Copies of this chain bind each other. A is one copy, B any other.
Amino acid sequence: MSLGIAIGARVRKSPYFDKTLEDGVTSFSVYNHMYMPTGYGDPEAEYNRLINGVAMWDVAVERQVSLKGPDAEKLARYLTSRNLGALNIGQGRYVPICDHRGTLINDPVLLPISEDEYWLSIADSDVLLWSRAISAERGFDVQIHEPDVSPLAIQGPKAVEVVADLFGDWIRELKYFGHREARLNGIPLHVARSGWSKQGGYELYLEDSARGAELWDLVKEAGQPYDIGPGTPNYIERLESGLVSYGADTDDFTNPYEVGLGKFVSLDREDDFIGKQALTEINEQGPRRQFVGYKIEGEALSAGNQHKWPVKDGEVYVGFVSASAWSPRVKSNIGVGLVETAYSEPGSKVTIQTDAADGDLEAVVSKLPFDIPA
């Protein structure tokens, strides 16, 4: 089944859109109302590049929500359950955002840009609207907007060499989620040590969308000695690494405790934050589900998840698989998803109701990340 994507003005193009076409992008999804490349037609090469070399990804869909003004820091703290302690300009943090019911509604990275400006680098939900509603109803003095910022990720074990060649050796000293303002041929951007993989890498937060093509070419050229090639947030690697994909792995009842983010819920904070009361109750009762891996029997799956697959114990629904694939490194079919806590211990046996071609498959719950044999 090969289905087309309609290209129109309601969904935005990335500043790298034309360049991804030039480099042979074959499929897209939509994320934060923007086209997101999802493949270049050679999944094996794209995977190998990320695991062994270096890949460049158009991740402009990681939109920024800028909180700027006297109450920006106060708003940032109120929005997240995490105790942020001292906030240092140039050092980002992963900050789960919940609604008042304690449900996870986004899991951004917070980037302190200056004393009075913070960016939320968001997953796929309208945090711009959410933040504006909260801020206005609270009477906070904050301007909230989406700045012209479009990340380009450079990921893989050789990413550090490419980025060092471009910017200098100082980039080796950045801590994870650390970021610094820089220029490349005059193109304004932030260099951040981050990215949606566990293979290491950087993201260039381009701050002038008119110069997207130029930045793409500069990175591509600098990457030639390291055999850089195009890629996208990688479907298989993220399963192996157990990264949570907001929206795919979550639903309208998922709280941080269910997806391994309990450590970012600081119930002992003295100040209030959204969802504090609900999360206190959820914590007392214990989470109903857990985000786990599944090792799935048999030959390579004929297709990954087009939707959440039911996970069953006999006839009883006990959870779901939200993404699955053959892992070349685990040498097994693997998946991730939420399962009832009673089944969340590694070794629990369950049945996965896949789509037609593969039928029902037996699976064993696994810890995340998956063990990669040497």
Binary per-residue interface labels of chain A (241-266) against chain B in the complex, 1 for a CB within 8 Å, 0 otherwise = 00001011100100000000000000
Contact of A247 among B10, B28, B305 (CB under 8 A): B10
Q: Are A133 and B99 in contact (CB under 8 A)?
A: yes
Q: Are B125 and A129 in contact (CB under 8 A)?
A: yes
State how many angstroms separate the Cβ of A60 from the closest Cβ of chain B. Answer: 14
Q: Does A146 touch B at the CB level, under 8 Å?
A: yes
> Given A105-B129, A130-B126, A133-B99, A29 and B10 touching (CB < 8 A)?
yes
Select the residue from A2, A26, A132 with max chain B CB neighbours within 10 A.
Answer: A132
Contact of A30 among B11, B105, B129 (CB under 8 A): B11
Contact of A9 among B3, B30, B105, B248 (CB under 8 A): B248
Q: Which residues of A, 260-304, contact B by the 8 Å Cβ criterion? A: 274, 304
Q: Which residues of B contact A21 (CB under 8 A)?
A: 1
Q: Which residues of B contact A132 (CB under 8 A)?
A: 99-101
Q: Are B29 and A252 in contact (CB under 8 A)?
A: no
Complex Cα spacing A8 to B36, Å: 13
Q: Which residues of B contact A133 (CB under 8 A)?
A: 99, 129-130, 133-134, 137
Complex Cα spacing A136 to B308, Å: 30
State how many angstroms separate the Cβ of A368 from the closest Cβ of chain B. Answer: 17
State how many angstroms separate the Cβ of A300 from the closest Cβ of chain B. Answer: 18
Taken together, the copies of this chain in the complex come to: 2
Q: Which residues of B contact A100 (CB under 8 A)?
A: 132, 136
Q: Are B323 and A8 in contact (CB under 8 A)?
A: yes
Q: Are A125 and B124 in contact (CB under 8 A)?
A: no
Q: Are B145 and A252 in contact (CB under 8 A)?
A: yes
Q: Does A27 touch B at the CB level, under 8 Å?
A: yes
Binary per-residue interface labels of chain A (1-34) against chain B in the complex, 1 for a CB within 8 Å, 0 otherwise = 1111111111111000000010001111111010
Q: Does A307 touch B at the CB level, under 8 Å?
A: yes
Complex Cα spacing A6 to B137, Å: 38
Q: Are A30 and B30 in contact (CB under 8 A)?
A: yes
On chain A, the number of residues with a Cβ less than 8 Å from chain B's Cβ atoms is 55
Binary per-residue interface labels of chain A (214-248) against chain B in the complex, 1 for a CB within 8 Å, 0 otherwise = 00000000000000000000010000000001011
Complex Cα spacing A199 to B345, Å: 57
Complex Cα spacing A25 to B129, Å: 33
State how many angstroms separate the Cβ of A143 from the closest Cβ of chain B. Answer: 10
Q: Does A38 touch B at the CB level, under 8 Å?
A: yes
Q: Does A39 touch B at the CB level, under 8 Å?
A: yes
Complex Cα spacing A248 to B129, Å: 17
Contact of A245 among B7, B10, B13, B322 (CB under 8 A): B10
State how many angstroms separate the Cβ of A162 from the closest Cβ of chain B. Answer: 26
Complex Cα spacing A248 to B33, Å: 10
> Given A9-B307, A29-B10, A137-B133, A3 and B4 touching (CB < 8 A)?
yes
Q: Nearest 10 pairs between A and B by C-beta?
A: A30-B30, A133-B133, A4-B27, A100-B136, A126-B126, A10-B248, A5-B5, A6-B38, A137-B137, A10-B247
What are some 17 contacts across the A-B interface (CB < 8 A)?
Answer: A3-B28, A4-B27, A4-B39, A5-B27, A5-B29, A6-B27, A8-B305, A9-B248, A10-B31, A33-B124, A99-B133, A99-B136, A126-B126, A126-B130, A133-B133, A136-B274, A146-B252
Seen from chain A, the residues whose Cβ lies within 8 Å of a Cβ on chain B are 1-13, 21, 25-31, 33, 38-39, 99-101, 105, 124-126, 129-130, 132-134, 136-138, 145-146, 235, 245, 247-249, 252, 274, 304-308, 322-323
Q: A9-B307, A134-B137, A137-B138 are in contact. List 9 more A-B contacts (CB 8 A).
A: A3-B28, A6-B27, A8-B248, A10-B245, A12-B307, A33-B247, A99-B136, A125-B129, A133-B134
